[in-house]
Amino acid sequence: MADYKISWLVADHVVMLQLFGSYSAELLEEQTRNVAEHISQGTAPVYLIVDTTGATSMPKNLKEPIGILGSHRLNHKTRSVIFITDNSLFRFIGNVAGKFIGVEFRAVESLEEAIETLLRIDPSLETLREIDLTVYREPSAS
């Protein structure tokens, strides 16, 4: 079963999307709309972290997810997307999707590395260092 969780790591500036379970086009469409809604409510610059470490599968055909993501250009407030994955196919999908949605894309292997990457991009996000990252490890995290 597929699921996802969207939360603010830094209010109005850093959105985190966590993916769990198997890929579904319908769920990707819903996730993309919900992320866009969060970003539109944020204050520029907004950064998006997409954590795929809980995903168990991705699409077999790249055309479908790229089409879905390409039809939802991220709000102009979005500066960067940080994609957490150790899967080369997921990295490729993220890189292509980043180009289609018109944002800077970076792939990393852990949430800790994502935080460090964001701090290099925008040192004003120093409050990221204070976050208890253990609460972002499970689908049931709040």
Q: Which structure tokens are listed for 101?
A: 């949605």
| Average pLDDT for 74-84 | 81
- Compute, in degrees rounded to 10, the torsion defined by CA atoms 36, 81, 13, 1: 60
From the number of C-beta atoms within 10 Å of its C-beta (0-12, 13-18, 19+), residue 85 rates as buried
Of 60-69, 72-81, 91-100, the poorest mean pLDDT is in: 60-69
Q: Which of 25-34, 74-83, 92-101, 116-125 has the highest mean pLDDT?
A: 116-125
pTM, whole model, 2 decimals? Answer: 0.83
Nearest-angstrom CA–CA distance, 20 and 17: 10
For residue 35, what are its two tokens?
């992320």
Domains of the chain and any CATH numbers: 3-135 (3.30.750.24)
Q: Is pLDDT larger for residue 134 or for residue 8?
A: 8
